[in-house]
Amino acid sequence: MACCLAASLSTPQARAQFIDGHELHRWGEAFERRRQGLQSSKDSRDVQMFMGYVMGVWDATLAARDILCLPPQFESAQIYDLVVDHVRANPDKWALPGDYLVREAALRQLRCRQ
């Protein structure tokens, strides 16, 4: 038992991966294809990665903050559209971290104006 536990602790089960704008763009394009009914079988994983990543960043860094003023009819899924549009419009920023681009998209569109 101890040998198995030691072996499992020394073998990495998951590896950390840096998600940049290039990856976010690729995932976002798969998301758009799905929305347009053009999804290929290869897009399924990318769509799920995009949705999970974007909502994870949203929940972890933006959702509980008072810096965003959401419109009355805002649905959380609308953040996907904001991110797809922002990343697509800024290819010069694709080398930046994906979480930065998600936050930037939200702040540019939803930041409270005072």
pTM of the predicted structure, to 2 decimals: 0.79
User: In order of start, what are the domains of the chain with their CATH numbers?
Assistant: 17-110 (1.10.890.40)
For residues 105 and 86, the answer to whether their CB atoms sit within 8 Å is yes
| pLDDT, greater one: 66 or 21 | 21
Name the token pair of 7: 């072996």
Confidence of residue 69 (pLDDT cuts 50, 70, 90): confident
Q: pLDDT digits over 82-114, tens only?
A: 999 999 999 999 999 999 999 999 999 988 876
For residues 61 and 77, what is the distance between their CA atoms, to the nearest angstrom?
16
For residues 27 and 61, the answer to whether their CB atoms sit within 8 Å is no
For residues 24 and 87, the answer to whether their CB atoms sit within 8 Å is yes
Neighbours of 69 (CB within 10 A): 11
